[in-house]
Amino acid sequence: MCGCRYYNYIVRLSGGFLDINMIKNIIFDWSGVINDNRDTSYLVILEMLKKFNVAPITMEKFRTEWEQPYMIFYNKFIPNLTLEEETKVYKEIYTNFAKDHQPFPYPKMVDMLKKFKHNGIKLIIISSDHPEHLFKEISDFGLNGVFDEINSNVHDKSEDLVDTIQRNNFNPQETIFIGDTQHEIDAGKSANLITGAVTWGIHSRSRLESAKPDYIIDSPDELAELVFGKMNLI
């Protein structure tokens, strides 16, 4: 379970209680949270390494070594790679791989997002994905019109989160950021947001726990419980 039930409150892993009626805004990462593209991302990484004459790595090493902002990861293996060059090469490789490895949403995520929207919760995406990939996937998943704001091609989510909160006049204590990596949890905490780490993405549960998010979320059902609790839904 994502937390212990206590009337209309859920115990936070970081201590204290969260009033479940207070979550009004949810900021999502895209890949690894909504879009199940971990295998595709790994294959793209292998092709990137191959292009720059770097030995391949295992999926386990990919998940262990992955860092954000993502140039930290790439420069471990390709020290002289620039952001501009990475952007150009990644877009080319991902576009080719996506033809044979169609992205798809994690089970139950689409219905849950629509339920959040129907119940008046503001939904925002902050993603490092390139816009031509991200917007196509949103459309393919049937999620056009669900998100109130979509931010793509974000290299450092720490900076963008703060700007997003200010631009939308969100109260941080009414806003949860959902990610699948340590960086995203760190970024959410730096912006004083409630943080939720999903365990179905890139980083392992143990690594996510080391970042000390407010919540560890093992399934979309747990995320829905966290947001809605036992509220009467529309």
pLDDT in tens, 18-42: 555 589 999 999 999 999 989 989 9
C-alpha–C-alpha distance, residues 149 and 123, integer Å: 7
What are all long-range contacts of 162-169, with beta carbons under 8 Å and residues at least 24 apart?
A: 162/190, 162/191, 164/27, 164/124, 164/126, 165/191, 165/193, 168/25, 168/122, 168/124
Given the structure tokens 């969260």, which residue do they identify?
18
Q: Which residues does 8 contact at the CB level (< 8 Å), separation at least 6?
A: 19, 20, 21, 229, 230
The interaxial angle of helices 38-51 and 83-100, nearest 10 deg, is 130
> Measured between alpha carbons, how far is 18 from 152 in angstroms, rounded to an integer?
30
The verdict on domain 5-36+105-228 having CATH code 3.30.160.270 is: no
pTM: 0.88
Q: What is the CA radius of gyration of the chain?
A: 18
Query: If residue 122 lies in a helix (H) or strand (E), which one and from where to where?
Result: strand 122-126
**Distance (Å, whole) CA 113 – CA 150:** 14
Q: Is the pLDDT score of 89 beyond 60?
A: yes
Q: What is the pLDDT of residues 164-223, one digit of tens each?
A: 999 999 999 999 999 999 999 999 999 999 999 999 999 999 999 999 999 999 999 999
